[in-house]
Amino acid sequence: MSLVLRFLNPWLRLFEKRQLAGGRSHESLRRSFERKARLFFHASWGSRVEADQLNGVPVEWVSGQGVASDARPVLLYFHGGGYVFGSPRTHRAMLARVSELSGLPACLPQYRLAPEHPFPAAVEDALSAYRALAGRSGGVILGGDSAGGGLALALLGEILRMGESVPKGLFAFSPLTDLSFSGASIEENAQADVMLPTSRTDEVVEMYLPDGGAEDPRASPLFADFTGAPPVWLTVGDTEILRDDTLRLAEQMRGEGVAVEVVLEHDLPHVWPIFQPFLPEAMATLRALSRWIRSLSER
């Protein structure tokens, strides 16, 4: 455990977890996340950001230093935030680092958020953005974190169900794959998780799924069929409440013949790679991911 992590975990427990559990409105959480991202998450020197649209979905293109915008394949990445907050701006610094390490450009859609735009708006936007890139030479690698990781997996399930062009691979950090929150780690890690409280899971579901349907595979990809899926790379911390969202999904995918690599880390916070400007464990994870991405792009 690095010295930074020894300070980061107590800080997250004392401030971030309390804030998320404190009943603040979704508008307040959005403003807070955006403000903290500007303060703490800075893109590496020489990276570039460009606004664009794909089939009507606003996106940001992010490229690390020296990465050509037409390099292939492209990383299509969906930000986390419980389907309620977060944006390409909150995650562009991390993706600039991934772009730099992998040598590939990243595209971050600004998909519609709940409660203003409940399910299936996010899935529709994800599919629209993917279809705009699917014909790109070199293909697409899907990615995401937390709810965005769940969205990437839900998109993959839809792509397979509809017989669309299959991406080259998918990676996810601490994905939310089960909106019924039936995994044992929800209760087992309720105290151990330094960031996510369990007290607001029902509220997230009410905002994103006001009409119910948590077992719809477009909302909870744990219930999707991934037969025929490309290679998948997943990482999660053993003390996260979403630990079993990853472990159960990986077990299911392997049973369907999918090549899945799971990196289970000890005592790391939810979506720790986002702390890449200052956390050594975050950089180690991003380097490992980038090696996996390069192995896909070289095939």
Q: Considering 79, 240, 281, 297, which one is annotated as catalytic?
A: 240
Angstrom CA distances, 125 to 59, 91, 120, stand at 11, 18, 9
Annotated catalytic residue 270: yes
Helix 88-102 vs helix 26-40: crossing angle, to nearest 10: 40
Cα dihedral 69, 74, 80, 82 sign: positive
C-alpha to C-alpha distance for 195 and 12, rounded to whole angstroms: 6
Q: Considering 146, 185, 220, 290, which one is annotated as catalytic?
A: 146
What single letter denotes the amino acid at residue 198? T
Give me 242's structure tokens: 């979403």
C-alpha to C-alpha distance for 269 and 178, rounded to whole angstroms: 19
Q: Considering 270, 281, 290, 297, which one is annotated as catalytic?
A: 270
Annotated catalytic residue 146: yes
Point out which residues pair with 60 in neighbouring strands: 51, 108
Annotated catalytic residue 25: no
C-alpha to C-alpha distance for 220 and 143, rounded to whole angstroms: 16
Active-site residue list? 146, 240, 270
